[in-house]
Every structure is written in structure tokens, then in C-alpha cells.
A and B are shown apart, each in its own frame.
Chain A
Amino acid sequence: MSEVHSTCCYCGVGCGVIIDRRDGRITGVRGDPKHPANFGRLCGKGQTLHETVGGHGRALFPELRHDRHAPRQRVSWDAALDHIADRFAAIIREHGPDAVAFYVSGQLLTEDYYAFNKLARALAGTNNIDSNSRLCMSSAVAGYKATLGADAPPACYEDIDHADCIVIAGSNAAWAHPVLFRRIEDAKAKNPELKIIVIDPRRTATAEIADLHLAIQPGSDVALFHGMLNALLWENLANAGYIEAHTRGYDALKTLVREYTPEFVAETCGISSDELLTAARWFGTARAALSLYCMGLNQSAAGADKNAALINLHLATGHIGRPGAGPFSLTGQPNAMGGRETGSMANLLIGHRDLDSAADRAEVAKLWDVPAIPARPGKTAIEMFEAIRQGRIKAVWIACTNPAQSLPAQNTVRDALMNAELVVLQEAYADTETAPYADVLLPAAGWGEKEGTVTNSERRISRVRAAVEPPGEARPDWRIACDFAMRLERRLHGRASARFAFDNPRQIFNEYREMTRGRDTDISGLGYATLDAKGPQQWPYAIGARQGRARLYEDGLFATADGRARFAAVPYRPVAEMTDARFPVRLNTGRLRDQWHGMTRSGRVARLWAHAPEPAVALNPDDLARRGLRSGDLLRLESRRGALHVIAAADAGIAPGQAFLPMHWGSRYLSGAGINALTLPVTDPRSFQPELKHCAIRLAKAALPWRLIAFGTPRDGDALARLAQLQAWLPRFEFASCSLTAEAGGVLLRAAASAAPADDVLEALHALFELDGEDVLRYADPARGNTRRVRLDGERVAAVCLTGDGSSESWLREFHAQGLPAAALGAMLLAPTDRAPAGAASRGRIICSCHGVGETAIVDALRGAAGDATARLGSAQQQLLCGTQCGSCLPELRKLAAAAVAAA
């Protein structure tokens, strides 16, 4: 056994991991005690990374189809790449370079990003390259650029230890960034005076630690921040000296926030003016105030404004560029930052250059040794898929992301994928929601199988290292991009240049770092050797530097032309989609503790299902009661864009009038198009980030009377393979959801329909759960649609399927999950009771068959009676009627009576 140091591939905290490997397999993972992001800690997702790499569902070989309706066939890498190159070249020649697009991912490594970016801009000749970071961090980018001049998070994790006021806005870090949150908890424990303000419409796990929880109305963040600034000004808590020395635009902002009186803001945000004032005072009087924020600010049609308005507070109070102070955006993906740094988004350019600047474009063109970088702006994610839908983009290359799960307004996204002439999908997993739309599937190496670097939320670059070979014919993403690029080059220019002739990611990194020289992201002094020797480093790390910079703007010099930060006088705009009489409920989306994004990876780990075993929409208990609903009811949720069915769950942390759906549930786990069937594709005008966090919906109890719940442990133990089979069943029901069971290595299917399905459907499902054998306990009342089947494995419940009355679900699931001894319950396992039949097995052997009297009752009656055996028997018979009809049992009764006398 040996170990390899690498980086976790989930959220942007960027924890260091140590991978254990044995015989070419990854066998375990633990936190790297030396990594400055986590110092050995890992969250539940990180701890189970090794369980995500193998097994059913990995993409192993290139696959290709020429006919959209035919299944893909396995082909060679050459055949796959030649085919794509032919098609891309043809489309570019016929329709121009903007008829192709690349949609990449914050989970790509920096080197992968770089290769794709160069491919798109330097070869294909289009700026149509965007990343799923568009859904995640682009408002943070816009917010930083609008105020500080560059997309550079100025703070670092260590600031948590130095702050005496922490604002957590639009972030459920306790679940989404657990290791970072441990650090906040530690800081709070060390310094009870530390004031924590949580701003979130929900009372989240994060809010539990808050000294002040501002449960604002969704989307009212800008009003809140302006209100806080208003209060700071009134109470003279602004830092006039800092404003004077280092900022611009203060007067305009001051004029604007005059209107944001505590009363107005309290009304707008749905909080008390006292709460507002408390927050402002804590922030204003803090020695060092730190703001941590995430999707609640970013995923909004006013996302850039929200970011900027929060940064305004830091600039106005001088809470920036000092230990413990600063605005600090948390990234959701392991390398969202790398994508920003390499400029791998439609409106960015490499090394924080500006696509709109002819000089910047010329500089990049020179560095890449190409005539020009196209000036036409590229399409950002939402625009890109709309252009695909309209046929303006003909071919799309999707790498390491899952748009058929994650983009808003799924129905139109799926139309787009159907409408594209060519969909290329480069993926480590062949079973994502997007995979069915792919004409070409290119198997990519995944975590633990590839080399490169990532940048975490605090600008820290960590090495990602391979512990094992990729499975099958899977290849690293950068190599796929480069192999393709050389083929495309030959077709477009008649010959392949050296531009993509990279042999390893180190060469790419070295080329990339040259492009940062002199920029704010300058890492010209950093190489793999330094990273290997000294561990992860923060940027900038210019040539000659001995270490990266922990904090930015310590000198008060910002990345603007005049060095002054800009206040953003942005008025509050409400959410893009207001509730109304027809869509009266505000839907909020977010994350679960133990799942990550589209669950392509985390969904493969059984134990990660324990925390939230099934898709559910959380509603305030009073709202449920008011609508005559109960926890567990099946609801239909509908927005102007789509609808879905999902189970209701009561959660007092949800404000009345609101609903919460985890972002994770796509069509692999929920019938229909997943939760993004509902969400809104309206984007922020500057960041182009869609308002995934909020839309207006209506909800009602589902009119699907036929119900099914089935769960079980496959005999062959391959729950993932079984889950894949179940997923194919989801579209066949009006409602269905499936999952792994957290315990017992099983799978679960829940379904509902307006009428009972044909018999063969149920038969097939029974077969799938191996409930069709001779050894299965069965109950059937077909006229009522009630069927129940239970398979036992020795003492344990191995599989269950209930249709119609499912009242026994919860205890049967407990029996299955916990492996409780069930065999003794026998046929009572089929009883429609909402509690496990207590003592059902203790009726004992039936002695009197005529009256159905069991031994237990008889012995009790005999012992309770007085006198000799005959008297006792008489008494028992009077009581229980045993032995008063056919008399077959009298000898036994007499024996029992004699025994009772002897025992007395």
C-alpha cells in the first residue's frame, strides 16, 4: 500500500487529501494534516471519495452514434476524435466559428481549462466557451470587478481566526463548506465575543451558530446591505479616512442609501429594524469584519449588485486588506477559481484580461502565436443553450458537467440538446442526465486518476495527483482537448502546429503561468516543483516571490486604473419572478449536507444518502397545516416553466410562504426533468448568472392515487447497477424517485400514478427487486390495488414492494436498514400497520384451531385461574372458548392445565 497527496474534488474549500492505494485501486482517503485548507479535516463527502471512483456507471470507452435515435456504439479514440473533428471543421467552414461552442466545468483542472480555452479561442476561433461556474461564481466575479477592479478574493481562511464579526450571507456553509465551517466553529469557541451574523431566508444549520440570524425575504439582500450602510452612516461608524484615501463613488452611494431607512429596509426584508441596526452596529464596531458569501448572493438576477453592495460595506468601514477583514466569496466547485484565472468563460480572457479590450486580445493572441483572438463576445451558458435551441450553435462540446441537470428551465435546455446537430460529452461517468443526449461520449479520467492543479476559494493553488490509472480507455481531460485540437487544426489549417503538442500537464501549467506574468494573478514564480516541495500556494506568486500573498489590497491599492476601489451605487431590485395569485409560493433552492451538485459522484455512495434519503420539498409546518397537507404527502409543484412531483417535508426553518428544494435532484433520481424544470433562466445583466435560487411556484397535493414503494438489497450486491436499472424506470411513472439506501446496500423506488399500471409493469418491478421467487411473502388484494411482497434473507428483510396501502413502509424500512430480526414476524410483515406488529409472533402455537386460541393466551388464562386442573381448564374455556367445539385440543389443554397447577 502507498499513499498519494492530492486535493478533494468537491467544493471550493479545496481540502488536501491523502489517497491510499493498493494493487492499482484507491482503497481509502483521509484528510491531509499539512494542507492549509483543512489541516487534516474532511467532511462526509470527502471521506467517502474512494467509494465514488469504481463500479457501475463509469465511462470506459469512446462511444459514437451517427443516428440520434440509435444507441451509441463503442469506437476507438481515433474514430471518435476524427468524427468530431470532421464535424466541427465542416460546421465552422459552413456556418462560421460561432456555430460551435464549448461548455466546460469548474471541476476541470486548471490545465484542462487552459487547453479548452486555447482550443476555443486560438483554434476554433470563437469565444463560445463558458463554464458551469456561470451558474455558480460569475456574480462574484462581476461584484469584485465592479468594486475592487479585479476578480480576486482579497481574504483567506486564516481571517476567520482573526475576525471578531463574521457575516455569512446566502451561504449554508455548515452543509456546503463543512470543513470551513468547522473553522468558524473553532473561532467561535476560542472567542465567544466573535459575533456571527447569518443572512438567509432559511433557518439553516449555519444559522444555528448565529448570534443574529436575519431571515430576510428572498432577494432582498441589496436592500439589507444598503440599510446597514445607511445605519452605519447615521451612527457615524463609517471609516471616513479609508473612504477618502482608497475609494471613489462614495457620494453617489450615500445619496442612494439615504432612502434605505431602517423602517423601509425592515419592511422590505421582512426583519425588524432592531435586527438591522444590531447587524450594522456589530459590523461597524468590529475590529475586523469578514463576510463569507455564496450562492444566495450569486445565483440571482441581481447577483452582481448583491456582491457589490456587500463589498460597499467593507470599503465604507475599511474592513478589507487586514487580518480578519474582507469580503470573501466561497466557491462551490473545486476549481471555479482556476476557470476564472484561465479566463475560461465567455466574457473573460486569460489572466484576468478583458475580452472587450483590443489590447488585451492582442496580447493574448501574441502569447498564443495566433493572428487574433475573436472580438465577438461569446455566449454565456444560458445564452449558449438558447442559441443551440434556436439552431445558431450547431455543435456543442460539454466537458465534465451536466447541463441536463443543472441549468434552469430544463425543458428548454433539453429541447436545445435534442436540437443540436452534434453533442459531444466528455465525462468520467456515463450515466449522467446529459449522457443520453450525447452523440459522442468521450471517457474522461476522474479524481484520483489525473494530474494538475486547482485553485480554492482563498486563491490557493494545490496539486491534484493521480493515484491510479484511469479505468478502461479513459483519458485526462487536457489530453482529450489537445488530441482533438491537433486533428481540428489539420482540418482547418492543413497542418498541426505545436500549439497543442503538450505531453503532460506540467507543460501546460508552465505555458499558462507565462500568460499571468505581470497580471494580478501572476504565478510566474510558481511551478510544480515549488508546489511539490512547499505545498499549496496562494496567488499572486510572481517570479522571485518566496511565498504567495495571503491577503490582497493590504496597501489600499486596488486593481483599478487609479488604484481606488469603486463604490457601487446599485439600487435594490426585487427577485426576477414575483409571486402572484397563481404562483404564490417562493421557491428557494440550495444544497444538502451530504450530496454535491448533480450527484453524479456523491449519489454513488450509499452512506451519503442517510442524511436526506429521498427527494423532498421542505415547507413550513404551518403552511402544510393551512393547506391540509402532511409531511410525506406527495405534492405537485409547478412554475411557469415546468412541473414536478415530490414528497413534502415539514421544516420549521422554512419561512411561511416559501418552499425549499435541494438543487441536487435531477432526472436520475426524480421523474421528469428534475428540480430545474421549475427554475428561472433569467440572468443578471452583468454576470449573466441565472437566478437559480428563486422562482415563483404553486403547489397542491398530487392527484396520483396509485402508490408504490419498493426497496431491497440486490442478491448480487451491486446496488449501483440496480440503481441504474431503476433510473430507466423513472420516466414510466407520473411520479417516481429512486435512491440508494444508506444502509443494507440497497436501492429504493417510490412511484405514484393516476391509475395502476399494467400487470406486467408490476411484475417487472418485482423481478427487479427479486421479489418474484418462490421464497417471497406475498399479499395481494388486486381489486383494491394493494399488493405487498417481502423477501427475507435469513432473519433479515431483504426486499419489500408495497403498492396501494403503504402504511407499513417506515417500520419495514427500519427493519431492512437495520437488519432487525424479522423472520419471526412471518406474515405479519405484510400487515398494513404503521407500526411494527409488537409481539405478533408471541401468539404462540395455535392450540384451539376452532376458536383460534394460541398457547400464550391459554397458559395465561390457566395460570390466572384458581383451583385444580379441571377448574382451571373450565375457567380458561369460559374465557377463551378453547376446546369447546371439536375438542381436538382437549388433551393438550389438559396437559397445559396440569402444568399450570404444577407451576402454581
Chain B
Amino acid sequence: MAGMRTLEELLKLAPDLYDITVFGAEPHPNYNRILLSPVLAGEQTLQEIVLNDLDWYQQNGITLHLGKRITAIDRVRRIVHAEDGSSAEYDRLLLATGSKPVLLPVPGMNLPGVLTYRDIADTEGMIAATAQYKKAVVIGGGLLGLEAANGLKQRGMDVTVVHLGEWLMERQLDRTAAGLLRRSLEQKGLEFRLATQTQALVAGESGRVAAVKFGDGSSTAADLVVVAIGIRPNIELAEKSGLHCSPARPGGIVVSDTMQTHDPRIYAVGECASHRGTTYGLVAPLFDMAGVCANHLAFHGIGRYTGSQTSTRLKVTGIELFSAGDFQGGDGSEDITLSDPLRGVYKKLVIRDDRLVGSVLYGDTADGAYYFDLLRAGRKVGDIRDRLMFGES
């Protein structure tokens, strides 16, 4: 998504500056990865989430290689090599290799019926499993895990979410909002095991996964296990090519404010990039990066990426959830809270030094964008603080 967004922006700025070639490891043109969850839930189709179809590439004179994974970059000769032996020269190279799911370091991770949740293939795998199997366990109560769980439930499976943390989505939600979320999801039929460590995935007679064993010795049956405990930047190619990557976890290709790697002909955008020590897994920063990168590629040279405040939404139908910034508060910060239990609405705004620094919205996220703007702008809010909770108007 980040890569193609860069191209779209670039074509707007300098449509004739480059001959463009795109390599994609997946056999699909680029699609909106964020919408995999609605696809899994059966609310949208794969066709609907395609961002740029093959015609678009053709119309813009872009050479597209689908299903071809790049295995090496010859930075001296400025040639990339794909695993099928094909290659391409470059004056400028844009890496948008995205991220990979984090795997569970337990026995049985490779069993049939154990999936991660990253791409169309994973999604199709899950959809296929729902037709055949009844009992799913999703490991990971974060954003992706819950979306996967919801999708599987929508498709008729019994789903248990296993989560290591004490409450769901602890990186995005405070305990109160997470409690409300859990209650809503339970009403949708999901089951939860919180503060639970997974010890092993156990195979059944067929060799397919049949159960999940937990740290406390208990276990639960599972025909399908989806592991969604996080992502890490996909930096294999960059590391192999000698590009500087962040030594600190989770890694990432180190880029400058103009999205250039330490090899200035090579750019990196999206989830694979590490900017000022931060990697991003959300759509808004990726788009920000794409804009800056295109600007630089077009020789405008005035764009600088200085980092993004991030916000999160959960794409589960019927559940509105938004979180952004430092929503946990703590020393020196002041919380403003609102709750409407009748509608299942909970909101928290965190103020520090008279500025909005974080926000959690549950049940009514209409003002998420407004708060996010305020948060990014770093504007003093003293004058509007009393109305802040009630939206922009």
C-alpha cells in the first residue's frame, strides 16, 4: 500500500520522470490490506479491496511483475534480481516490503491449520477453513487478532481469543475501554482467555492442529489456530543488501526524513521502514511517508517526514473504537473521561501541558479524526478543553 501510494503521488507530481517497474511477491495487484478483515468477515469482496487494478498499471505505463519476489539488490550495478531469475535496473529503488507476522515460539507452530494473518493468502486460508471446521482459536487479543476472531465468528466458527495481556488491545486501550470491548465481543459470541500464555499447539491424529495447550496446563480444542501476536518489519532483503537496519527491536530499514536509506538511491516506505527509531504499522503514517517520498523522487525536495502520531481503529462491524497517542496518561497528565453506559460509549482524553496527547474512544468514534488532528497539531487546548469531549462543533 505504501509503495503504490508513493507511485500515485509521484505520478501526480512528475508523471513522465521515471520508467517504473513494480515487483510484487503476491500474485495480486496492490490491495487495501486494511480491508482484509471486512473480507474475512464477508462484508466486502476481494475485488472491492483492490486499489489499483492491472489496467491502472497499463494506463500509467508501469511494468508490473506479480508473484515475483526480489531476492537480491546489486547496489553497485543498480540491478534487482527476482527469484525467477528476472531482473531490472534502477536509478532509484523504492523498498516497500512491509512486515511479517511474528510467530509464536512454541512447538506446533508449523502444523497444518495454524495460520498467521497478513495477506490475501492467509485470509483465503481462513475462509476455506471456516467451510470445514468449527472450532477456532485466535492467539493474540490485539487489533488483528480481534478482527480475525470476529471474521471467523461471522463465518460461523466458535472462536476463543487467547491473550497474554490482562486486557485486550493493551497497546491501544485502557482497561475500561478494553472491558467494554470485551463485553461487546462476548455479546457477539466470542470467548476470551486473558492473561493466558500459550505453551504448545498440539496435533491431532490427522496431523492437523487439534488443540492449544496453555501455561496453566489446561487446553482447548482447535481446528484452526490463527496467530496474530504482532508484526515485525520485513527487512530480509535490505539486510542482505547491506542496507543499514535498526539494531533495536523490532528492527526496520533506517530511513532519513526524506525516506532515503543509507544508500541515497534507495528509499524505503511503510511498515518496513524505521524512522527516528519508530516503525509504523498503521495506514496514516504510511500515507504520510508516501507523500514525502514521492516529493523527493520528483526532485521537489521540500517534503520532510518528521514522524506520525498514530491512531487505531478496530474494524469490527458494530464496534467503534479509536485510540491515539499516549492514552495511558500517568504522571503530569490529566484525564478527561466520559461514559454513556446506555450506549456503551466510553471516551478518554489525556492532556499534558495543556495539549491533547492521547485519546481512547469506544462506542462513538466520530470525533476521532478531530482529536487526532489536535494531537498532531500539538495545539494548546485550554480554551476549548471544556467542550473538547463533545466534538468539534
Contacts and interface: CB of A to CB of B under 8 A. Distances in A.
A775 B48 contact: no
Given A887-B32, A888-B35, A852 B342 contact: no
A232 to B, nearest CB: 65
A888 B369 contact: no
A833 B393 CA distance: 12
Interface string A861-904: 00000000000000000000000011110110000000000000
Interface string A772-806: 00111111111110100000100000000000010
A781 B339 contact: no
B285 interface: no
Contact of A832 (B345, B365, B386, B391): B386
A782 B335 contact: yes
A365 interface: no
A498 to B, nearest CB: 72
B376 interface: no
Interface string A807-836: 000000000000000010011101111000
B369 A852 contact: yes
A885 to B, nearest CB: 7
A775 B339 CA distance: 10
B315 A781 contact: no
A412 interface: no
Contact of A854 (B366, B368, B369, B389): B366
Interface in B332-390: 334-343, 345, 347, 351, 364-370, 385-387, 389-390
A849 B322 contact: yes
B44 interface: yes
B284 interface: yes
B38 interface: yes
A592 interface: no
Nearest to B391: A852
Interface in B18-65: 32, 34-35, 38, 43-44, 48-49
B386 A778 contact: no
A891 B44 contact: yes
B146 to A, nearest CB: 15
A245 B44 CA distance: 111
A846 B385 contact: no
B314 to A, nearest CB: 10
Given A827-B364, A843-B366, A778 B32 contact: no
A886 B34 contact: yes
A772 to B, nearest CB: 12
A826 B336 contact: no
Interface in A344-401: none
Interface in B272-331: 283-284, 287, 313, 315, 320, 322
Contact of A777 (B284, B342, B366): B342
A624 interface: no
A849 B283 contact: no
A805 B385 CA distance: 12
Contacts, number: 107
A830 B38 CA distance: 34
A826 B35 CA distance: 31
Interface in B240-295: 283-284, 287
Give chain A's interface secondary structure class.
Answer: mixed
Given A849-B322, A849-B368, A886-B34, A891 B338 contact: no
A826 B345 contact: yes
Contact of B339 (A777, A832, A846): A777
A662 to B, nearest CB: 34
Contact of B386 (A786, A846, A850, A886): A786
Given A782-B334, A786-B386, A777 B34 contact: no
A851 interface: yes
B366 A827 contact: no
A776 B334 contact: no
Contact of A823 (B342, B351, B368, B385): B342
B337 A849 contact: no
B338 A830 contact: yes
Nearest to B336: A781
Contact of B368 (A843, A852, A891): A852
Given A850-B313, A852-B368, A885-B283, A826 B34 contact: no
Given A784-B385, A886-B283, A777 B341 contact: yes
Contacts of A805: 386
Given A832-B386, A843-B366, A776 B341 contact: yes
A781 B334 contact: yes
A836 to B, nearest CB: 13
A805 B390 CA distance: 14
A846 B342 contact: no
Interface in A741-786: 774-784, 786
Given A775-B342, A827-B340, A891-B44, 14 more contacts: A774-B341, A777-B340, A779-B337, A782-B335, A805-B386, A827-B347, A831-B387, A831-B390, A832-B390, A846-B366, A852-B392, A886-B35, A888-B35, A891-B48
In the A-B complex, the 4 residue pairs with the smallest Cβ-Cβ separation, listed nearest first, are: A783-B334, A852-B366, A781-B336, A831-B390
10 contacts: A782-B335, A827-B347, A827-B364, A832-B390, A843-B366, A846-B365, A852-B368, A886-B34, A886-B35, A888-B315
